[in-house]
Amino acid sequence: MPMFVSRGAGQALLVITTLIASAVHATMHAQSWPQESGRAYIKLSYGSSTASQQYTFDGREKDYADNVSGNSFFDRSIYAYGELGLTNNVTLLAGLPYKRVIVRDAAYRYQTYAFGSAQVGARVGLKPLLGLDEAPLDALAANVMLTIPTGYTRNYLPSAGAGQVDGEMYLSYGRSFYPIDAYAQAGIGYRYRSTIYTFSHAVPCQDGVSKDCFADTQPEYGDEFTFGLDGGYTFKKIVFASLMLRGDWALKAPTVGFSVANPIPTRQRFIKAGGSIAVFPFDGISVNAQLLFTPYGLNTVKSVDLFLGIDYRPKFF
Amino acid sequence: MQAYDESRRHFLRLAGGAVVGFMIVQVTGCESNSVEPLTTGADVPFLTPNSSFYYKNGAEGSIARWTMPVIDSGTWRLAIDGLVQTPLSVSYQDIIDEESRSGIKLLKTMRCVIDSNEVQGLIGTAVWTGVPLRTFLDRAGIQTAQAKRLRFYGADTFGNNIQIGRIYGAPVPDLVEPLLVTHMNGSPLPAQHGFPVRLILHEGYGYKNVKWLTRVEVTANDLPFGTYQDEGFVDDGVMRVNSRMTNPLTNAQVAAGTIKCVGFAVSGASGIGTVEISVDGGPFAPVVIRSQDTVMATDAQLASTVQALNPTQFPYPFRAVWAQWEFSTSLTAGPHTISIRATDQAGNVQPESDDDISDGINAIPTVHITAV
């Protein structure tokens, strides 16, 4: 623990990073507080996203698949995610999903298993760099992240990801309410969606004939603003609950829809809202659940997302 | 402090190596993809019940804030205007009254232009009851010297057109002129199929058959027009020759030995001429198209269709109506492929490949099955 951090403030920092870590979405999500030096956060979770409806390009709700009234989109994936405090101010981030994605139409069920896009990045606390008060009750961090395909087939129906590299810069500000075990944070980011398809590949596919794939058009995905807002509270240091709102907002509004045959929208906007609950049965370990709904969207799946996870916070050095 | 630094350096070397490795080593070999048929591939009925008839509202993907019109037939009106001597406002009752005098029951397969072996299920066959649009155009008095096209507008703003010659040109014996349709398989049009009145263009893909029809404009503008045309689909919208196997479906497992295959073929340009099958890449050989008697026996209302009542004018297999075929072959245990190729009576043949969706995807479909 750095010398400038008082005992109380240090405890607050640990509490806050623990709380926020428990609220971390199964995929990488930017935060305000870097981990302390040598501290790691490791999370393994199972995600279940299900949808019977989609939001059309202009925000209407319709069946996800034509002439299928029940659930027709299923994402059952396992996520490994980790953070490591290199210093008190710099945290490495990495995540890797193993995706199992299923879509169906009136006649067929299409299923793909594959490692999805890996995420690597860093979180840098900005207050020291800006010469601001370094007390940890509030925090400001820049999160820089890359999303890199792991060699999956981008034109499988369905695919495990968009197949190209994304880069994101996310600024997040957080505030602890210590000695109350609660926090709130908000952030905004920009996601650059490149046309680098080097890290995925495509299989030969003929539209209308091949059933396991779609034509490899390598579209230009629209850049997005990302944003998030969340806050949480710990009851008796055993049970943590949080509420969250997060979203992706394509700079240009979508003008064309997507289909079961090519289910990854090139542009989309959505807001997800929900909450999480975590229980800390042992020191440094939590078991958590997160439930998210999609109350608003353009050109996106109207899914209900449930994540069940277990995380661990070892100290390596 | 020194021990702390060494510990950190050691850890960081390990972690750094892991991260770099993570970035450069692509995780492959853990990927699989499967396509599994959800249905048994049971025989498809010749007439598709309204309850299971597909509906694809093309405007949903192209018209902002699209909603399905909910129309009261008592207040609905069809405007016929433009290059006419007397603009008309036609009521639902006007059409029902006319149906009692000159109603036509047309047997027609409706196929969405994006229906394909890849995106299946957007096809079905129904008996459509209506009256010739010409009946009302004649009452309005078309200015035929100037008029080039009819533009159709739905209450959802979906649009399409036909050339004026489709109605006032030389008649084609086996082609029924465009109809204002109120009933589908003997029941009033369901809401999602265009209640109270939709256009039916005998030879056309779904997008040519405007639902919730509210206006017919007679125009001198001879350019293509329509919601789907704006998205690059062909203006004529004639269903290209196509075929499908409906049982067994791709990736199905069947018992080794003799299996029966069934499916359909359809063309808007003419009736189906031949359907041929190739097993495991062998030569194509013709298969049996179900007879007219067999088909007509499947539903009583088929006997009153214009095609059944005028067999000379409408030779079987009918234009724009799916021709159901069947075929038996013996398969040994193992994987097999079955390809289907249809040719219509106008000589149009399904191509080996088709990457152009503008006129529909109609390449020769190949079904992969495994005999066990």
For residue B37, the chain A residues in CB contact (below 8 A) are 107-109
> pLDDT for B143-181, tens place per residue?
989 999 999 999 999 999 999 999 999 999 999 999 999
- What's the domain range around A208? 7-312
Of B27, B60, B121, the CB nearest to A67: B121
pLDDT at position B131 over 60? yes
The rounded mean pLDDT for chain B is 91
Region of B346 on the Ramachandran plot (φ > 0 left; ψ -120 to 50 alpha; else beta) = alpha
Asked if residue A27 has pLDDT above 50, the reply is no
Give pLDDT, residue A19.
52
Residues of B in contact with A109 (CB under 8 A): 35-38
> What CATH superfamily is the domain B50-230?
Oxidoreductase, molybdopterin-binding domain (3.90.420.10)
Determine the 3-state secondary structure of B294 from DSSP: helix
Using CA coordinates, name the residue in chain B closest to A109: B36
Asked if the Cβ–Cβ distance from A66 to B22 is below 8 Å, we say no
Query: How crowded is the C-beta side of A53, counted as CA atoms within 13 Å?
Result: 14
Upper half-sphere CA count for residue A263 (Cβ side, 13 Å):
30
As a whole-number percent, the residues of chain B with pLDDT over 90 amount to 77
**How many structural domains compose chain A?**
1
B204 and B239 in contact (C-beta within 8 Å)? yes
Q: Where residue B66 falls among pLDDT bands split at 50, 70, 90?
A: confident
Contacts of A210 in chain B (CB under 8 A): 118
pLDDT band at B35 (very low <50, low <70, confident <90, very high): confident
* B residues 250-309 lying closer than 8 A (beta carbon) to A: 250-251
* Spatial distance between the Cα atoms of A161 and A173, rounded to a whole number of angstroms: 29
Which residue of B lies nearest to A212 if distances are taken between CA atoms? B35
Total length of chain A: 317
pLDDT reading at B304 higher than 90: yes
Looking at residue A132, what is its pLDDT?
A: 84
Q: Please give the pLDDT value at position A93.
A: 95
Which pLDDT value is given to residue A60? 85
Domains of chain B by residue range: 50-230, 242-371
Q: Do B22 and A106 touch (CB under 8 A)?
A: no
Q: Which residue would you say has higher pLDDT here, B372 or A261?
A: B372
d(C-alpha A102, C-alpha A75), whole Å: 6
Contacts of B361 in chain A (CB under 8 A): 207-209
Residues of A with Cβ-Cβ distance to B117 under 8 angstroms:
208-209, 211
Please tell me the distance from the alpha carbon of residue A13 to that of residue B318, in angstroms, as a whole number. 78
In chain A, which among 123-162 make CB contacts under 8 A with chain B? 148, 150-153, 156-157, 160
Asked if the Cβ–Cβ distance from A86 to B12 is below 8 Å, we say: yes
> Looking at A49-53, A209-213, A273-277, B231-235, which range is the least confident one?
A209-213
Is B357 an interface residue toward A (CB < 8 Å)? yes
Buried b (16+ CB within 10 A) or exposed e, B103-133: bbbbbbbbbbbbbbbbbbbbbbbbbbbbbbb
pLDDT band at residue A249 under the 50/70/90 scheme: very high
Residue A291 lies in a domain: yes
**What distance in Å separates the CA atoms of residue A247 and residue A270, rounded to the nearest whole number?**
5
A300 CA to centre of own chain: 16
pLDDT value, residue A263: 64
Interface touch A38/B8, C-beta < 8 Å = yes
A69 band by pLDDT with thresholds 50, 70 and 90: confident
For residue A260, name the pLDDT band (cuts at 50, 70, 90). Answer: low
Convert the pLDDT of each residue in A98-124 to its tens digit.
Answer: 999 999 887 888 999 999 999 999 999
Distances (CA, A) of B156 to A198, A254, B327: 43, 20, 43
Q: Which residues of B touch A208 (CB under 8 A)?
A: 116-119, 354, 357, 361-363
How far is A119 from B19, CA to CA, in rounded Å?
A: 11
Question: Who wins on pLDDT, B11 or B225?
Answer: B225
Let me know if residue A136 belongs to a domain: yes
Residue B353: pLDDT over 80: yes
Question: Does any domain span residue A303?
Answer: yes
For chain A, the average pLDDT equals: 87
Give whichever of B53-57, B110-114, B152-156 has the largest mean pLDDT: B152-156
Encoded tokens for B29: 């070999």
Give the highest mean pLDDT range of A57-61, B26-30, B115-119, B214-218.
B214-218
Q: How far apart are the C-alpha atoms of A170 and B150, rounded to whole Å? A: 55
pLDDT at A18: 52
Contact A109 B116 (CB under 8 A): no
Angstrom distance (rounded) from CA B298 to CA B45: 8
pLDDT at A35: 92
CATH code 2.60.40.650 for B242-371:
yes
Q: Which residue has the higher pLDDT, B86 or B67?
A: B86
**Alpha-carbon distance B210 to B193, whole Å?**
9
Do the strands B213-219 and B77-82 form a parallel or antiparallel pair, or are they unpaired? Answer: parallel
Distance CA B340, CA B277 (A): 5
Place of tokens 């030995």: B257
Instruction: Quote the strand ranges of B6-73, DSSP E.
Output: 32-37
Asked if residue A28 has pLDDT above 80, the reply is no
Report d(CA B8, CA A39) in Å as an integer.
11
Is some CB atom of chain B closer than 8 A to the CB atom of A86? yes
pLDDT level of residue A10 (50, 70, 90 thresholds): very low
Decide if A151 and B67 are in contact by the 8 Å CB cutoff.
no
The answer to whether A55 faces chain B, any CB pair under 8 Å, is: no
Are A60 and B65 inside 8 Å of each other by CB? yes
- The single-letter code of the amino acid at B66 is W
Residues of chain A with C-beta less than 8 angstroms from the C-beta of B36: 108-111
Q: Give all strands (DSSP E) within chain B, no chain letters.
A: 32-37, 77-82, 88-91, 104-111, 123-132, 149-154, 159-163, 179-184, 187-188, 198-200, 213-219, 242-247, 253-254, 257-266, 272-279, 285-286, 288-289, 323-331, 334-344, 366-371
pLDDT at residue B314 in the model = 97
Name every residue whose Cβ is closer than 8 Å to that of residue A135 and which is 6 or more positions away in sequence.
A5, A9
Predicted confidence at residue A7, as pLDDT, reads 41
- Taking every pair of Cα atoms in chain B, the longest distance, rounded to a whole number of angstroms, is 102
The distance from CA B54 to its chain's CA centroid, rounded to whole angstroms, is: 9
Q: Would you say residue A3 has pLDDT above 50?
A: no
Contact B36 A109 (CB under 8 A): yes
Instruction: Collapse the DSSP code of B263 into the 3-class scheme (helix H, G, I; strand E, B; otherwise coil) and give the result.
Output: strand
Residue A100 CB partners (closer than 8 Å, separation 6+): A75, A76, A77, A111, A112, A113
pLDDT band at B138 (very low <50, low <70, confident <90, very high): very high
Using pLDDT thresholds of 50, 70 and 90, give the confidence band for residue A2: very low
Q: Give the residue among A47, A111, A52, A103 at the shortest CA–CA distance from A80.
A: A47
CATH code of the domain in which A127 resides: 2.40.160.40
Task: Determine contact, residues B207/B226, Cβ cutoff 8 Å.
Answer: yes
Q: What is the 3-state secondary structure (H, E, C) of chain A?
A: CCCCCCHHHHHHHHHHHHHHHHHCCCCCCCCCCCCCCCEEEEEEEEEEEEEEEEECCCCCEEECECCECCCCEEEEEEEEEEEEECCCCEEEEEEEEEEEEEEECCCEEEEEEEECCEEEEEEEECHHHHCCCCCCCEEEEEEEEEEECCCCECCECCCCCCCCCEEEEEEEEEEECCCCCEEEEEEEEEEEECCCCCCCECCCCCCCCCCCECCCCCCCCCCEEEEEEEEEEEECCCEEEEEEEEEEEECCCCCCCCECCECCCCCCEEEEEEEEEEEEEECCEEEEEEEEEEEEEECEEEEEEEEEEEEECCECC
User: Predicted confidence band at A282 (pLDDT cuts at 50, 70, 90)?
Assistant: confident
Percent of chain A with pLDDT over 70: 87
Q: What is the DSSP letter of B283?
A: -
The residue with tokens 């350019």 is B223
Chain A residues within 8 A of B118 when measuring between CB atoms: 207-211, 214, 261
Does residue A1 fall inside a structural domain?
no
Strand partners, A124: A90, A142
Whether B338 and chain A come into contact, CB under 8 Å, resolves to: no
Give the pLDDT of residue B13: 64
Q: Is the predicted pLDDT of residue B202 greater than 70, yes or no?
A: yes
Q: Is A105 on the interface with B (CB under 8 A)?
A: yes
Residue A208, in any domain of the structure: yes
Confidence of residue B67 (pLDDT cuts 50, 70, 90): confident
Per-residue HEC secondary structure of A152-179 comes to: CECCECCCCCCCCCEEEEEEEEEEECCC
Q: How many CB pairs under 8 A join A and B?
A: 161
Strand partners for A84? A40, A92
Residue-wise pLDDT tens digits, B165-174: 999 999 999 9
Q: Which of residues 178-217 of B touch A (CB under 8 A)?
A: none
Cα angle B181, A67, B233 (rounded to 5 degrees) comes to 65
Query: What are the backbone dihedrals phi and psi of residue A6, each rounded to the nearest 5 degrees, phi first?
Result: -70, 165
Residue scoring higher pLDDT (B43 or B363): B363
Q: Give B268-280 pLDDT, tens digit per residue.
A: 999 999 999 999 9
Quote the ipTM score: 0.81
